[in-house]
Amino acid sequence: MLTPTSMLIVIIVVAAALVSVMVFKPSITITRGGKILAFVSIFIFPALSGSMGFKEHMERSKRTEFCTSCHVMQDYGKSLLIDDPAPVPAAHFQNNRVPRDQACYTCHTDYAMFGGVKAKLRGLNHVYVQYFGKIPDKIELYTPYNNRECLHCHGGARNFEEGATHTLEEGRLELIKSGQLSCLTSECHATGHDVKNLPSKTFWKASHVATDSTGSESAESAREEK
């Protein structure tokens, strides 16, 4: 069975072959069938391969390995294996609270290629900066992390709705849901990726986790204590 990438390659090869025929034997376009062939090879196939290629790359941009393929993001990938329940990203990744192959996209949809027009432009800007611009010394979110991204999964869940911390006082849950009380406060989920402390951290000893999805250098590096 052909994969989308294989189909794309086949279409490109066929299109190139047909265009070559048009170039080296233009007389073929005199007939009605030749004109149709020329139209298909010059317009239809390129448009089809372009749309398929765009869709394939956009889908690939959702993957964790894509996000951590940039050097500046590799430590953020490694932080998903920190052996400590306090960092929110590590706890979610290790406990399958988010799909491991789309961990970054799931939690940062608002910043991802598919998170709205502004986010798509930001994603394209990230690619531009990676290859042609100046990468900032400190990586920061454009805006404070929105509770909305947490509520995509936790909203309506029993352990969230009835959690002792979330119902500690009257109206607290409503404040969280409305975004007036951030999930990422010093009293709640304060620790994010914690990349600055990676050298002093120990890492989750799980050989079955694919290292390319977290930006780790090797399977052994995820097992070593640092």
For residues 119 and 136, state if they share a domain.
Answer: yes
Residues 56 and 71 grouped into a single domain: no
Closest by CA to 53, choosing from 82, 22, 97, 15, is 15
For 46, other C-beta atoms within 10 Å of its C-beta total 16
Smallest Cα–Cα separation from 64: which of 3, 108, 116, 95? 108
pLDDT value of residue 26: 84
**Dihedral sign for Cα atoms in the order 14, 17, 23, 29:** negative
From CA 57, how far away is CA 55, in angstroms rounded?
A: 6
Same domain, 9 and 50: yes
pLDDT of residue 221: 41
Q: Are 198 and 75 in contact (CB under 8 A)?
A: yes
> Are 53 and 83 within one domain?
no
The pLDDT score that the predictor gives to residue 209 is 60
pLDDT above 70: residue 182: yes
**Chosen domain end from 15, 40, 60:** 60
Range of the domain at 31: 4-60
The arithmetic mean of pLDDT across residues 106-123, rounded, is: 73
How would residue 95 be classed by pLDDT, with cut points 50, 70 and 90? very high
Number of domains in the chain: 2
Percent of the chain's residues with pLDDT above 70: 86
Dihedral angle, C-alpha 175, 176, 177, 182, nearest 10 °: 120
Q: Check pLDDT > 60 for residue 219.
A: no
Return mean pLDDT, the chain.
Answer: 82
How far apart are alpha carbons 124 and 54 in whole angstroms?
13
* 128 shares its domain with 88: yes
Q: What is the pTM of this model?
A: 0.70
pLDDT at 224 over 60: no
Segment among 11-20, 86-95, 153-162 with least mean pLDDT: 11-20
The pLDDT tens digits of the residues spanning 195-215 come to 989 999 999 986 556 544 444
Query: Do 76 and 44 share a structural domain?
Result: no
Is 19 in the same domain as 131?
Answer: no
Query: 121 and 88 in one domain?
Result: yes
Domain for residue 18, yes or no?
yes
Using alpha carbons, select from 121, 118, 111, 116 the residue that is nearest to residue 67: 111
Classify residue 25: in a domain, yes or no.
yes
* The residue type at 130: Q
In a domain, 198, yes or no: yes
Task: Give the residue from 14, 44, 60 where a domain finishes.
Answer: 60
